[in-house]
Structure 1
Amino acid sequence: MDVLRKSSVFAAEVLDVFDRSLTERELVSQSKALCRDYILSRLNQNGLGWSKTELNLCPSSAALSEVSLVLLCLGNELELIQPSLYRNVARQLNISVAMESMVSDAFISVATEIFSTGITWGKVVSMYAVAGALAVDCVRQGHPTTIHILVDSLGQFVRKFLVPWLKRRGGWAEITKCVIKKNLTPEHSWFSSTTESLKYLLTTVYVYIMKEP
């Protein structure tokens, strides 16, 4: 019993140290860096030809390169399954990308709805897909600086709602388990309920954003 007790104490101490190894600031910073990468990928994918220099976006660290690649891979898969959800999002939400506060409020409201029934990696990817789609709308409509509002809004959401969840998983590295590393082929279980929960989201969220308090 004494050995078991000591083992339990040791395990608790190890878990506590591991949990402290990832600070809130680091996780939020990483989340925003991943958002910048995701947005840049979507802009280039849509033929908008922007660079990090043009958008004044800081490069993500080398340590996040694999995570970023996996996030993009999963995002591609999700967007292929339900392309209509991640195109012309600003129009679906009936918002003006010229109004930064409206874009921020819309993104936070969509993210809140996505995670209203819990947190999964699939829903995390969906949040990034929404941010990427809104960024494309912003640049197409001549408001590239609004991208920084999107990145900051995502960081605020992560800080408020996702940091404890990310900490329990040891950070962003766990998302790499969602793919087969040999060819980055996504597994399909991670998004099994995501598209269903989002099916009617974009057509109703504008009412939610604009409703009286």
Structure 2
Amino acid sequence: MDVLRMSSEFAAEVLDVFDRSMTDKELVSQSKALCRDYIHSRLNQNGLGWSKAELNLPASNTALSEVSMVLLCLGDELECMRPSLYRNVARQLSISVAMENMVADAFIAVATEIFSTGITWGKVVSMYAVAGALAVDCVRQGQPATVHTLIDSLGQFVRKFLVSWLKRRGGWEEMTKCVVKRDFTPEHHWISSTIESLKYFLSTVYVYVMKEP
């Protein structure tokens, strides 16, 4: 009887763990919340001063706040190492931010190119950096509504291509393991490999976006 009771308790604990696992919808919602936070930071850095209300930022979540902090730290490092890659992205892609569909298609194409050889946290950070850079372009050029289209596009991409990968890693909180010190100094090996793999991705994506269907 004791063995049966212990087995039942163990089974209940296992089921409880699965019950607490993130759903696809929750992971997509978190990815969009992180994107809003990332864009909010980048707009403020560039003196464009959008409020959190304008980006519909959700109420603070302790676990997600830590992930957001790490994501911003890693994004800073990545952008500092190769600033030209993450500035004036719309111009590099030769797209008009006034055309929301074109911006959405270009972002999806860029994201697809980024992950064409596999998924890593470094590439995830790069995807957010591209979204942040495009958002800055949109607001600077008087097209703030396109920012929300960008956020939705990122969510759609995560739902279609990254949700299963995120689930296998226990969700977004796994990203916090990319840092090795309390001051959020990131490991550099994934950053350098990401920079190398993305060296020519904008020109590649431009050809992909502009070619005839």
What is the TM-score with the length of structure 2 in the denominator? Answer: 0.89
Asked if the contact 1:34/1:68 (under 8 Å) is kept, the reply is yes
Q: Residues 157 and 137 (structure 1 numbering): CA distance in 2 closer, same or farther, change over 3 Å?
A: same
Structure 1 unaligned blocks of 5 or more: 1-6
For the pair 1:111 / 2:111, whether they are aligned, the reply is yes
Structure 2, unpaired ranges of 5+: 1-6
**Amino acid aligned to 2:38:** Y
Greater mean alpha carbon deviation, residues 158-167 or residues 44-53 = 44-53
What's the offset of the Cα at 1:56? 4.1
Counterpart amino acid of 1:148? H
1:16 & 1:59 partners in 2: Cα distance? 26
Q: Residues 86-108 of structure 1, C-alpha deviation per residue, up to 9 Å, x if partnerless?
A: 00000000000000000000000
Quick check: 1:178–1:190 contact (8 Å CA) kept in 2? no
C-alpha contact 1:94 1:206 (8 A) present in aligned 2: yes
Amino acid at match of 1:129: A
Shift of 1:62: 3.2
Deviations 1:126-159 (CA, angstroms, capped at 9, x unpaired): 0000000000000000011111000000000000
- Does the alignment pair 1:153 with 2:137? no
Contact between 2:94 and 2:206, CA under 8 Å: does it hold in 1? Answer: yes
Q: Residue 166 of structure 1: CA displacement?
A: 0.2
* Aligned pairs (5 A) from 1:1-213: 14=14, 17-18=17-18, 21-213=21-213
Structure 2 CA distance for aligned equivalents of residues 67 and 78 of structure 1: 16
Residue-by-residue CA offset, 1:28-82 (whole Å, 9 max, x unaligned):
0000000000000000011111112234444453331000000000000000011
After the TM superposition, which segments of 4 or more aligned residues of structure 1 sit over 4 Å from their partners? none
Aligned pairs, number? 204
- Distance in 2 between the 1:36 and 1:140 partners? 17
Between 190-199 and 120-129, report the one with greater CA deviation.
Answer: 190-199
Cα offset, 1:180, TM superposition: 2.6
CA RMSD in angstroms, aligned pairs only = 2.0
Greater CA drift, 31-40 or 182-191 = 182-191
Counterpart code for 2:203: T
* Inter-partner Cα distance in structure 1 for 2:33 and 2:129: 15
Q: Percent identity?
A: 82
Shift of 1:173: 0.5
Structure 2 distance, partners of 1:92, 1:118, is 24
Distance change >3 Å, CA 23–CA 147, structure 1 → 2:
same
With over 3 angstroms needed to count, the CA separation of the structure-2 counterparts of 1:59 and 1:132, relative to structure 1, is farther
Residues 22 and 171, structure 2, Cα contact 8 Å, conserved in 1: yes
2:64 and 2:181 map into 1 onto residues whose CA distance is 15
What is the TM-score when the length of structure 1 is the normalising length?
A: 0.89
1:123 and 1:15 mapped to 2: Cα distance? 33
Is this contact kept in 2: 1:107–1:150, CA < 8 A? yes
| Residues in 1 aligned to 2:203 and 2:179: alpha-carbon distance in whole angstroms | 31
